[in-house]
Structures are given as C-alpha cells and as structure tokens.
C-alpha cells in the first residue's frame, strides 16, 4: 500500500492528509481550552454561531494553508505539554 503524504513539516516529518487533520483538531481543542481558561469565549461562540465546515471537507491546498498558519503554535503546544489529548493513529485503529 502506497502512502501519499500531504506535507513535510519544518521538523522534516512527512504527514498524510489525515495526520494533518488530526493535528489541526488537536491544536484547535488546545486553543479553545486555553481561551476558556482566559475567559475568552469569542472563538468558541463564533464557531457555534457561524459553524465550521470541518477539516475533512477542506481541499488539500486549504489544509496546507491552515497547517502553515498553525504549525508553530502546534509545535509550541507539544513542546510545552499543553495538548489536551493524544492523537490515536487511524491506521492503528482500523
């Protein structure tokens, strides 16, 4: 089975589309929790009011842009041990 990678991270990791989606979701949860702890509900409120179409519905190019905007924050979250949950590989679960 051939693995198609979507991006190469700054650290040199090759990530599949699903791995990018998983990391973006994990980072979003961290940011939501951080904002709640700071009593900033604006982003969560906006998502509830206007909706979110979901990373699974993004094109590959949209995911790449989103990752580029989030990669530094994601890496800082991991380095600081702030992730609220561990990502379970979908390949291991299947």
Q: How confident is the model at residue 89 (pLDDT cuts 50, 70, 90)?
A: low
- What value does the mean pLDDT of the chain take? 92
Closest among 52, 53, 66 to 17, alpha carbons compared: 66
Band of the pLDDT at 90, cuts 50, 70, 90?
low
Q: Environment class of residue 21 by beta-carbon count within 10 Å: exposed (0-12), middle (13-18) or buried (19+)?
A: buried
pLDDT digits (tens, 9 = 90+) for 6-51: 999 999 999 999 999 999 999 999 999 999 999 999 999 999 999 9
pLDDT at residue 22, rounded to an integer? 97
Q: Which pLDDT score, from 0 to 100, does residue 93 have? A: 41
Of 92, 93, 91, 78, give the one whose Cα is nearest residue 27.
78
Element (H, E) at 70: helix 60-79
Can you give the pLDDT at residue 3?
A: 85
Sorted by where each begins, the domain ranges of the chain are: 5-82
Phi, psi of 72 (to 5 degrees): -60, -45
């Amino acid at each position: 089975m051939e693995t198609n990678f979507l991006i190469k991270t700054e650290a040199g990791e090759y990530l599949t589309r699903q791995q990018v989606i998983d990391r973006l979701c994990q980072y979003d949860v961290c940011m939501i929790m951080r904002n709640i702890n700071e009593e900033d509900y604006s982003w969560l409120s906006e998502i509830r009011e206007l909706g979110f179409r979901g990373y699974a519905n993004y094109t590959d190019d949209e995911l790449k842009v989103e990752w580029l905007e989030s990669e530094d924050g994601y890496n800082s979250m991991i380095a600081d041990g702030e992730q609220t949950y561990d990502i379970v590989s979908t390949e291991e679960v299947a």
